Amino acid sequence: MINFDNVGYTYDRKTYVLDDVNLDIGEGQFVCILGGNGSGKSTLAKQINALLTPDRGTVTVLDHDTEDPKNTYFVRSNAGMVFQNPDDQLVATLVEDDVAFGPENLGIPTPQIRDRVTESLKMVGLSGYEKHETHALSGGQKQRVAIAGALAMHPRILIFDEASAMLDPAGRKSLQKICKKLNGEGYTIVMITHFMEEATLADEILVMQNGKIVTSGSPQTIFAHPDKIEHLDLDTPFAATLCHELQDRHIPIRMHVKARDTQEEIVHLFANIYGSLPHVNDKKIQGYSARYMKAITQARLEQEKLRPQPKSNAGATVEVQHLSYTYDPLSKKQKRTISKDTEGISWALHDLSFILPAGEFLGIAGHTGSGKSTLLQMLNGLLQPTIGQVFINGHNMSDKQQASQTREKVGLVFQYPEKQLFAATVAEDVAFGPKNLGCTDAEIEQRTNRALELVGLDPAEVRDKNPFTLSGGQQRRVAFAGVLAMRPSTLVLDEPCAGLDPKNHQAFLDLIAHLHDELKITVIMVSHSMDDLAQTCDRLLVLDDGEIVAYDTPEKVFRNGDALREIGLDQPQPQKMAESLARAGIPLPMDKLYDMQTLVDSLVGAYIHAHHQQKPGPGQQAGGSHQVSDSNDVKGASK
């Protein structure tokens, strides 16, 4: 269906972004293309629908050569494409006009366009949204409109170019579901992604590096050898990593890439030893409900407030008191009475109170629209609370004058901070903050170099480069440095890892953890990834609908899986797996928060214990060696 024959492509006639690519995708296949930033994935995708045509070799789609101008619209209408940024690809103000755009261009008669719009919107679950405005939809909904726009051209192939990169977990999940469903209905899917979990949906994975397809195969075979794909800037899905770690510890299990399969396999393994697994009382694992968790959190915070607090001399403390904020325009009368009469006002944040000790790492979690970004802007004094106060280092940020004096002490890194780069050289951009502070030239120089070093860039090397010529990951580092050059005592980060490939993602998490340790500054980080939060935070603030649901250590918060799922969040994957296994009757203690290491240790412990209980043989040695040979067998089989 899609054929690439020795395809080469170059943007600048020097380096080939695609280099001798050969591939053959059959009808109805679900193919996933993986690879680091800049490996040539997007270029390859654009070749499939003739947005680009090869400089060398040929691309044929449904037996039509993409290079022949006569075939352009045939190819494009048959290979619909969904792009990364939901805001950039919708052409119309209203949903129905956007979906109709493709068929209109193809010259389809009006009544049929109407049918196609209705049918396409139904396929993506947006029936009834015809007259909605596109810009008011959520990111996930926008992407679904984009899919409907492609479907309305009646394509046979759908290409997703990192279509889920800018979505929150809920949006990503709904997108995955639709892809799977459409594939089931016979559409050929080509998906480019940085999320390994999404790659496990595919029949086949192609891995790209430096413009070449370096390896391909089923998810099972690709992820079977993590050591082999490490240098390709990839990650392995959680379930596969777990299988691996267990295999390394001589537990005889087979390789799986999906969490459910791995879970079943482990349950199976233990069931075989024990004969049957004990029935488990769910209550012990469940944790609190969201409502209860919120109630006890608020009661506790209320109590803490009564205790005398050390005030301004406490260092970089964040203190939030009865903070409320609304985007509603208020009349003068409402402003006067708002602290008493709050009827009919829709709150972005409502009555938040908490105290963050100096030097801590605070994570903020909450689904889209829960008020996270609003809170961040308030911490920096960019927004003034409607009611209540925010203190940083004892300075009242609700006071405009104090806020503008203290603002430099709170470094705010926005989402996709590289979008704010503007200067001709890296050094100039980083120096922007210190210059605004009125630092001396020597001081500016010193701060700039130090900030660049802190983000892992070599000042001598990058100083005079144009920031726009750097790679995406490096641009973000420069933007980061620009904030660090202000010498903040509190660093506030909004989704710092969004849109990065797995390698860069981890590098950034490490960088932030390192800054926290080395500079001894307070860090506040908003993230959609529970695994990232579990990995980095000392403390976690969970928001839902502008109110605090939990404020505690990750260990305590993440053990309330049901409550988190109730408000559109989830648990870190190792903890989720541990709980499902415990529910199935595997003896895992539920007294801690699991990470990969403790989960593997506990499972290995439980396994050895089970073995000894059930097979009290002539010694542990025999059992041990038996396990080793077992796992070797398994490893041999999986190769």
Partner 1 sequence: MNTDALFGRYWDTKSPIHSLDPRGKLIALLVITIALLTAGNYAVLGLEAVLIAVLYALSHVPVQQAFRSIAPLSFIVIMTAIFNILFIQGGTVYASWGIFVISQGGIESAIFLSIRLTLMLFIACLLTLTTTSMDITSAFESLLSPLSHFGVPTHEISEVMGMTLRFIPQVVEEWRDIRAAQMSRGAELSTRGNGRKLSSFFIPLFTSAFRHAETLSLAMDARCYHGNQGRTRLHPLIFTRKDTVSLILVALDLVACVVLNIVF
Of residues 132 and 254, the one with the C-beta less far from partner 1? 132
Of 264, 262, 258, nearest to 199 by C-alpha is 258
Contact 539, 363 (CB under 8 A): yes
Residues in the chain: 639
Contact 198, 166 (CB under 8 A): no
Q: Write down the least CB distance from residue 76 to partner 1, Å.
A: 5
Q: Write down the least CB distance from residue 244 to partner 1, Å.
A: 38
Q: Write down the least CB distance from residue 328 to partner 1, Å.
A: 8
Q: Write down the least CB distance from residue 113 to partner 1, Å.
A: 5
Q: Write down the least CB distance from residue 390 to partner 1, Å.
A: 14
Of residues 54 and 287, the one with the C-beta less far from partner 1? 54
Q: Write down the least CB distance from residue 416 to partner 1, Å.
A: 9
Q: Write down the least CB distance from residue 369 to partner 1, Å.
A: 11
Of residues 316 and 534, the one with the C-beta less far from partner 1? 316
Of residues 411 and 473, the one with the C-beta less far from partner 1? 411
Of residues 246 and 348, the one with the C-beta less far from partner 1? 348
Strand, helix or coil for residue 108 = coil
**CA dist., res. 53 & res. 47, Å (int):** 6
**CA dist., res. 209 & res. 35, Å (int):** 6
Q: Write down the least CB distance from residue 351 to partner 1, Å.
A: 21
Contact 316, 489 (CB under 8 A): yes
Identify the H or E element spanning 491. strand 490-494
Identify the H or E element spanning 180. helix 169-184
Of residues 114 and 212, the one with the C-beta less far from partner 1? 114
Of residues 113 and 349, the one with the C-beta less far from partner 1? 113
**CA dist., res. 207 & res. 196, Å (int):** 12
In 3-state terms the chain splits into helix, strand, coil percentages (rounded to 5) of 45, 20, 35
**CA dist., res. 282 & res. 546, Å (int):** 30
Q: Write down the least CB distance from residue 146 to partner 1, Å.
A: 8
Question: What strand order describes the sheet that includes 349-356?
Answer: 349-356, 318-325, 387-392, 395-396
CA 458 to chain CA mean position, Å: 28
**CA dist., res. 239 & res. 106, Å (int):** 45
**CA dist., res. 149 & res. 163, Å (int):** 14
Q: Write down the least CB distance from residue 32 to partner 1, Å.
A: 20
Of residues 79 and 533, the one with the C-beta less far from partner 1? 79
**CA dist., res. 485 & res. 626, Å (int):** 59
Q: Write down the least CB distance from residue 136 to partner 1, Å.
A: 8
**CA dist., res. 206 & res. 22, Å (int):** 11
Question: What strand order describes the sheet that includes 547-552?
Answer: 410-413, 490-494, 522-526, 361-365, 539-544, 547-552
Strand, helix or coil for residue 344 = coil
Q: Write down the least CB distance from residue 410 to partner 1, Å.
A: 7
Contact 23, 219 (CB under 8 A): no
Q: Write down the least CB distance from residue 166 to partner 1, Å.
A: 12
Of residues 103 and 502, the one with the C-beta less far from partner 1? 103
Of residues 131 and 333, the one with the C-beta less far from partner 1? 131
Contact 77, 127 (CB under 8 A): no
Of residues 420 and 613, the one with the C-beta less far from partner 1? 420
Q: What is the DSSP string of 567-600?
A: TT----HHHHHHHHHHHTT-----SS---HHHHH
Q: Write down the least CB distance from residue 466 to partner 1, Å.
A: 12
**CA dist., res. 352 & res. 592, Å (int):** 28
**CA dist., res. 73 & res. 104, Å (int):** 13
Residue ranges in 307-440 assigned as alpha helix (H)? 332-337, 372-379, 400-406, 426-437
**CA dist., res. 482 & res. 470, Å (int):** 15
Of residues 363 and 381, the one with the C-beta less far from partner 1? 381
